[in-house]
Structure 1
Amino acid sequence: MDLRGKIVLITGASSGIGAAAAREFVRAGADVALVARNAARLNELAKELDGAAHVFPADLGDPDEVVALAAEVKARLGVPDVIVNNAGAGRWLFVDESTPHDFRAMAAVPYLAAGYVTCAFAADMVRRGSGRIVVVNSPVSRATWPGAFGYAAARWGLRGLVNALRADLRGTGVGVTEVMPGKVSSDYFANNPGSEERVPAVSAIVPTVTPEQVARALVAATARDRRRVLLPLMLRAVAAQAWLAPRLTDWLMGATGAKRR
């Protein structure tokens, strides 16, 4: 896909991977629709991007707000050529530390949010016969570690969403890309205190990547119509092990992961 002049909608665009991806798409010649709850941060980023960005504050965990968002985006910009489902949140908790409200919040974003946003534009994209849906996922969707119950369940949900989209959209001209980075040096852990301590020790073999590295890989994968991209390179070996030796992977995650105090 030639990204020049294309409309790219990015969720979770107020910081981290989302903000870095917005900058990278603009460098590639696209216009970006920035979506997140924090309007002030979106406006700061839009000002930096100097006319190539449009701000749409919304709570993506609320389907009514997503319907309203879609109507506004289509009225102002048209149907996006690319949707980047990047919004993500959630504390890492054992199931017995979680309340039903905790689980609902962690399911709402990223899983339900990605589904809501995709559904809001899918019919128009299929009717047009072109476009790409990008989903940013986590390694926990392949190798599940303890102490992150709701987070892991939501990310496995995203994996299922990707597979279901590929099945439904085959032959429509609308492609699907899954982007899966390892640990990212963003403010995610600062915003979710207590979670970083629960990263399995074995994950130290996978180098940390920056939001900018993820953004470059994401934009390149979109432009090249790639199905999936994992980074850094070592993460591919981890994913292959999870596929080929699931019991060994489960044992490693349990042995090196979080323990109840």
Structure 2
Amino acid sequence: MAKQGAVIILQARDLEKLQLAHKKLENLGTKAHYYSTDLTNAAAVKTAAEQIIQEVGLPDIIINSAGSGDWLSLKEANLEHYEATMASPYLATAFTCKIFYDKMQTRGHGHFVIVNSAACYFAFPAATGYTAARWAMLGFAKSLQADFHGSNFRVSLVNLGKVSSPYFTNNPTSEERIPKIADYLVPTMTETQSGRIVAKVAVKPKNIVIRPFILSVLVFLNRLIRN
């Protein structure tokens, strides 16, 4: 997207990582801006949105890719775990979509890309918070698509398999608990591969994308044999 001349706006909580990403984009000759924002805080998201619109302009495409949370069983998790896993990604995505959608009303069009985990189609043991949050993302995206039917607003849901990213460094237990057959059948994607998938969908909206392709086959089979 940057190579195609898009102006990139980055939002995340970690200022240092934002600055590093911003520098990489600038080195590519990309016009980019960054805003340190706690996306799980509705007031913070609203303040940042107003600042973005004033300083850069109203975005055409919103890409939601927030996510956190270790894979824990009901026995292992505490109450705060469930609050945190629902706050990000679900509430962060809902807040961002709602606040920018309200700002887009006068213009009358916009595109929301929701990046999710393919865990939203399955039920894994020892992932009671993570999986529930991903199912919430699936429900939210499909509800938005129903809301926007017949309008000039689009919602694209991108469901990805395992991506080699810092997520697994920060949550080592999660990687250990991915079913072995999934690791065997579904290739791990790089961040570059997943980024290209999201960028393609951002430019050419699609209701649902599941990648890698073998994962879409497994999702279909799971629907057939579900109890």
The reply to whether TM is greater than 0.5 is yes
- TM-score, structure 1 as length reference: 0.83
Show the counterpart of 2:15. 39
Task: Please identify runs of 4+ aligned residues in structure 1 that moved more than 2 A.
Answer: 124-127
1:240 aligns with 2:220: yes
Equivalent positions of 1:100-115 (< 5 A) are: 100-115=79-94
Cα offsets for 1:7-56 (capped at 9, x unmatched): xxxxxxxxxxxxxxxxxx21222111101111111112112211511010
What is residue 50 of structure 2 aligned with on the other side?
71
1:129-148 aligned at under 5 Å gives the runs 129-148=108-127
Aligned to 1:223: 203
More contact order relative to length (CA 8 Å, sep ≥ 6): 1
Over residues 165-194 of structure 1, what are the superposed CA-to-partner deviations in whole Å (9 max), with x where a residue is unaligned?
Answer: 111112220100011111101111101121
Distance in 1, Cα, partners of 2:32 & 2:224: 43
* Distance (Å, rounded) in 1 between the aligned partners of 2:208 and 2:175: 26
Determine the C-alpha separation between the residues in 2 that align with 1:139 and 1:225: 19
Letter in 2 for 1:118: C
CA shift for structure 1 position 150: 0.5
Segments of 5+ residues of structure 1 without an aligned counterpart are 1-24, 248-261
Q: Is the contact made by 1:138 and 1:155 (CA closer than 8 Å) also made in structure 2?
A: yes
Deviates more, 1:103-112 or 1:67-76: 67-76
Q: Which amino acid aligns with 2:129?
A: G
For structure 2, list consecutive stretches of 5 or more residues without a partner in the other structure: none
Length-normalised TM-score, structure 2: 0.95
Contact 1:125 1:174 in 2 (8 A): no
Q: C-alpha distance in 1, partners of 2:224/2:104?
A: 36
| Structure-1 separation of matches of 2:161 and 2:90 | 18
Note the C-alpha offset of 1:208.
0.7
Equivalence for 1:206: 186
Aligned Cα RMSD in Å?
Answer: 1.1
Q: Map 1:1-261 to 2 at 5 A.
A: 25-50=1-26, 51-203=30-182, 204-247=184-227
Aligned residues: 223
| Cα distance in 2 for residues equivalent to 1:180 and 1:197 | 21
In the alignment, residue 216 of structure 2 is paired with which amino acid? R
Deviations, residues 119-178 of structure 1 (Å, cap 9, x unaligned):
111122233122110001111100111111100010000001101111111222010001
